Structure 1
Amino acid sequence: MTIVYPILGILVATLSSISRSSARRYLYASGIALLVAFFTFPFSEAIGYLSREAIYPTPAGLLPSWSLLGLIALAGLLALLPLSPKLQGLLGVDGGALVLVVGYAWLSRPVFLAKAVPLPGLTEAAIALLAGGLLFLALRNRNFWLAILLGLALAAASFSLLNGPVGHTYFPRLEGYYKLVKPLAPEETNKLINDYNQSLAKTNAIRKEIGLKPLQPIKGLADLEGGVPKDLAAKGVRLVRPSTLRYGTTAILFLAGLLLASGLFLLRKPELAEEGDLTSGLTAAAVFLILVPSFYATEFSLGKLVKGWPFFVNFLDRSWPPNLADPAHNIFPLQEVASQMALTVEIALVGTFLAMLFAIPSSFLAARNLTRGSAFTRAVFTLTRAFYNIDRGIDTLIMALIFVAAVGLGPFAGVLAMAIHSIADLGKLYSEAIENVERGPIEALEAVGASGTNVVRWAILPQVLPLFVAYTLYRFEINFRVSIVLGFVGAGGIGFFIQNAMASGQYDQMIIGIIAIVIVVNLIDFGSSWLRSKLV
């Protein structure tokens, strides 16, 4: 099945060629991504005595075991050479084919024993350089040399912190995180096999006492069940399994197919190149390099979805038809849903109203055009914006959990959480509207000596009030959806009803709440959209 990954890369390049998109862009993207993946993406598996002792070395980490893996990095470098389109295409074809040959050759290699040798400070240095580089990119347009100085200072400070006792106390996995995998000599491997076979009698006696089946003598490392012996694992020895796929393996095979196909199209049609290909290729590579580990970290798997499909079908069978009422058992779900839905709307309404009351006055303090007159008002502006940023950074659900602990279960906790979080969202929108007002009316009133309150009343409010109302309605829509989720943490409303129905297995009642949510969400959306169209 590994052939699927390069085929997908070829398919992407083919589709882009059909749409007359630049083939050189994908050549650059695959080259950049290959270089980064070579140093950072796990390419194989090396297991120890316990599953938690497994390490997943990168192609760069496996170089001591098989130096031909360095051809992957070479292919990436060749793809970035600033040559003529035809020559670039030829190098892309050769590089893609080379990576495929090396990748499949590695996957066909037998298991072997190796020692994991940590490289102290390497991971810490990479993180420090990344932090310094990001700061440089953020400041380079303001003052280039100052950006370099601050970037280097941040990188040095970050490395000193991360690579010292403080960093290793709070981030213990950083210490020696990056490892080189050096194979053991053949005589050491043979000695291990002999020692393993000689110790089987004692091991099997212990396994028999605890009810486990006996282990058989091994002829080679491929016969070794589980991991390496405990004493060897403690010395850093690992059993490397080249045939084990990691996300780095699949990514590199995909990139090889993309490199080969984009190089072929560029070789045949040199006009498939545009200015700015390197920049767009860098962007595409960055997206790819972020998405691939993200898919792996979230355990994305269509196979799991297919496997879980029967449960979904069973869920629908148990949910339909809805149980609108059961007078025999004094159960009236439809009535309960109507009551809880009304409560949900009320939570959103009160939370939004309270947020609006605090957001309107604070938004004037957060408007840059109204607070640049003195050092004091600029300080107030900075503090207000800082409050907005901090408040927006704390999710409503987290606030609801805190307030449920403080004031108990019920809608009041939901109202408080929603109101406090919405102050920042509304305040930021209001302040941006104030910053974009026309200066003419303000200057006219100031010229005749009008007070600050009169300027706000007659020059600013008439311009921003329709936007304030529109933003408030939009926030109410969001808060209604949020209030549904808040019910799951005990803040009341329709979410609380759905949670209880699911917990008790009453799916035919729970489905009524879901249907009600769909109906009310659409009614609120249509109603608020109509109002906003009349106001703005």
Structure 2
Amino acid sequence: MTGMLLYTLLGLSLAVLMGVARGSMRRWVIGAGLALLVVFVAFPFSRARGFLSRDTIDPTLLALAPVFPLLLLIPLGVLAALVLARRGAAGWGGALGGAAVLVAAGSWYVQPAQLVRLQPVNGLMELLIAGVVAGSIALLSFSRPQQRIPILVVAALAGGLAFFWFHTPQGGGAYLPKSLGYYKLFFPTPPESQQAMIDSYNQALPELNAIRKELGQDELKPIQGLSDLQGAIPQQASSEGYRLVQPATTQYGAFGIFFLAGLMLGAGLVLLRNPALQEPDDFRAGILIALVATLLMPAFDATEFDLNKLVVGWPFLQQFADKAWPPLLADVAAERYPLQEVLSQIAVTVQMALVGTFLAAIFAMPISFLAARNVTSGTPLMRSVFYLTRLFLNVLRGVPTLIIALILVAAVGLGPFAGVMAIAIHSLTELGKLYSEAIENADKGPVEALESTGASGVNVVRWAILPQVLPLFVSYTVYNFEINFRSSLVLGLVGAGGIGYFINEKMASGQYDQMIVGVIAIVIVVNIIDFASSWLRSRLV
């Protein structure tokens, strides 16, 4: 419970800080309320265990509402708060809505473990996917109001086809099997079912303890209630769709609920004290706050963000620092010369970036004219070339340099050649895009003047467009070289040569005092290239 109180206090503290800064508090009430609705429906709160770890399910509060109906107070309180905010009583709405959420979520958190029965909601995820497909197409109607009706019809047809495709034997369910029945509601089980599971567990305990004894593990004791279960429930119950819900075993949705409830409560209280802290665009700002919050919370969870890992890993960091300093520049007795090797490899890295950038610039220049809308607008054939070139650049730009390097290392072997080609291929797409945008933004006056004299397309490009865009081309190329040098450092980690390969080798072998020489060299060279690149680009543009 301490963690939940801490999350609530964090939300309250943020609201107080915003109030001290004289910012609008109504937007925080609205943003927290909208985010709470998303968290209630979509973010996991507790944990429900089965027999095996793969049977574990992390239910949302909406899924748990049939088991604990008081949870429905959360959306009701939030909706009431949003209505009050709309009608000019955001202070009361935030205070009452935040308090309602805290009461409902806190009441569920202190409940004991209980047995529940799963009920998949079939068709929900399919409907959601169909809605995303239809909505994506329908967005085009805003930019083309004259074609709004046909676009909406196409959107509805596409959404319907997507929905039914998931139900065909060879449709979406065959490729995304977890999407079918993904969302599950939890329903309570009668006390006799829970007692039957306790009896079944105790009857199977002697056999289980015999196995544990052979494995050298401690014996388990008979249980009196489901809260005494350690780990999994019996296999038969799990296969029949039962799970053991443990309300206090929280997931990231619990942080969202208590933090946002504290934020809403705090913002409401500050508004009650100073009702003037609101602005006309609060609803738009509130939607943005809710969007950011609902994107960040699952992102932090998916990336396993945990500062405690730094505390656990601190001894290694200290050990690394002790072994890495002072740097070993040379060991004549052992005939080891790290500085000499670093200078050689850093030169290779610079040359990789240089050659890769040069090749990319050579091929990007003609391609960029084919990808420029103002140069290829003459005939239908040229328009087709424009769309094909843009498609080529967009597709290839979506493949990271590291992935290209991995493929090329497998194809041509270890060494800088794979790194050079990876840099050249990816930089071709980047420079092609930048060059084409520079061409499209060129002044039309000289172009129209030459065209009025009957000049050919080649002459128009040579005398009207190139003089305008060449300084930009050079500036973009220099900047791309700066980026490519940093990329080439990483490419060495996958065997594509350069200083990255040296650092990876020394790090893997524990020779930190040699590895740090390479790091220092990288810092120096990066700063030199940055300063030189900035100076050169300032002279060109």
Question: Which TM-score band (shorter chain)?
Answer: over 0.9
Structure 2 match to 1:50:
52
Give me the whole-angstrom Cα distance separating, in 2, the residues matched to 1:529 and 1:508: 32
Deviation at 1:147, TM superposition (A): 4.1
Deviation at 1:80, TM superposition (A): 2.1
**More displaced 10-residue stretch of structure 1: 112-121 or 140-149:** 140-149
Q: Is the 8 A contact 1:120 1:176 kept in 2?
A: yes
Structure 2 match to 1:148:
152
Runs of at least 5 residues in structure 1 that lack an aligned partner in the other structure: none
- Report the AA paired with residue 153 of structure 1: L
Give me the whole-angstrom Cα distance separating, in 2, the residues matched to 1:153 and 1:271: 48
SS of alignment partner, residue 115 of structure 1: strand
> Is 1:196–2:201 an aligned residue pair?
yes
**1:181-203 per-position Cα deviation (integer Å, ceiling 9, x unaligned):** 11210111112212322332333
SS of alignment partner, residue 157 of structure 2: helix
Q: Residues 273 and 471 of structure 1: is their aligned pair in 2 closer, same or farther, counting only changes over 3 Å?
A: same
> Is 1:269–2:271 an aligned residue pair?
no
- The percent identity for this pair of structures is 55
Deviation at 1:336, TM superposition (A): 0.3
> Is 1:345–2:350 an aligned residue pair?
yes
**More displaced 10-residue stretch of structure 1: 459-468 or 265-274:** 265-274
- Report the AA paired with residue 322 of structure 1: P
Q: How does 1:52-451 map to 2 (within 5 A)?
A: 52-81=54-83, 86-143=88-145, 144-165=148-169, 166-451=171-456
Q: Residues 67 and 451 of structure 1: is their aligned pair in 2 closer, same or farther, counting only changes over 3 Å?
A: same
- Report the AA paired with residue 9 of structure 1: G
In the comparison of the two structures, how many residue pairs are matched? 536
Q: Residues 146 and 15 of structure 1: is their aligned pair in 2 closer, same or farther, counting only changes over 3 Å?
A: farther
| Match of residue 530, structure 1, among 525, 535, 538 | 535
Structural RMSD (CA): 1.5
Q: Residues 65 and 459 of structure 1: is their aligned pair in 2 closer, same or farther, counting only changes over 3 Å?
A: same
Q: Residues 534 and 206 of structure 1: is their aligned pair in 2 closer, same or farther, counting only changes over 3 Å?
A: closer
**1:51-108 per-position Cα deviation (integer Å, ceiling 9, x unaligned):** 1211011111001100110111112212321656652221211010111111111111
Q: Could you tell me the TM-score, scaled by structure 2's length? A: 0.96
Give me the whole-angstrom Cα distance separating, in 1, the residues matched to 2:413 and 2:101: 60
Deviation at 1:358, TM superposition (A): 0.5
Q: Is the 8 A contact 1:86 1:267 kept in 2?
A: no
Give me the whole-angstrom Cα distance separating, in 1, the residues matched to 2:205 and 2:416: 65
Q: Could you tell me the TM-score, scaled by structure 1's length? A: 0.97
Give me the whole-angstrom Cα distance separating, in 1, the residues matched to 2:31 and 2:276: 18
Q: Is the 8 A contact 2:85 2:93 kept in 1?
A: no
Give me the whole-angstrom Cα distance separating, in 2, the residues matched to 1:293 and 1:453: 53
Give me the whole-angstrom Cα distance separating, in 2, the residues matched to 1:469 and 1:407: 31
**More displaced 10-residue stretch of structure 1: 139-148 or 226-235:** 139-148
Q: Is the 8 A contact 2:85 2:91 kept in 1?
A: no
Q: Residues 139 and 479 of structure 1: is their aligned pair in 2 closer, same or farther, counting only changes over 3 Å?
A: farther
Give me the whole-angstrom Cα distance separating, in 1, the residues matched to 2:85 and 2:532: 59
SS of alignment partner, residue 370 of structure 1: coil
**More displaced 10-residue stretch of structure 1: 268-277 or 307-316:** 268-277
> Is 1:501–2:503 an aligned residue pair?
no
**1:235-257 per-position Cα deviation (integer Å, ceiling 9, x unaligned):** 11111101111111110101101
Runs of at least 5 residues in structure 2 that lack an aligned partner in the other structure: none
Give me the whole-angstrom Cα distance separating, in 1, the residues matched to 2:150 and 2:73: 38
Give me the whole-angstrom Cα distance separating, in 2, the residues matched to 1:320 and 1:57: 50
**1:152-174 per-position Cα deviation (integer Å, ceiling 9, x unaligned):** 23322222223433212111111
Structure 2 match to 1:38:
40
Q: Is the 8 A contact 1:47 1:54 kept in 2?
A: yes
Deviation at 1:6, TM superposition (A): 1.2
Q: Is the 8 A contact 2:84 2:93 kept in 1?
A: no
Give me the whole-angstrom Cα distance separating, in 2, the residues matched to 1:310 and 1:204: 39
Deviation at 1:120, TM superposition (A): 1.1
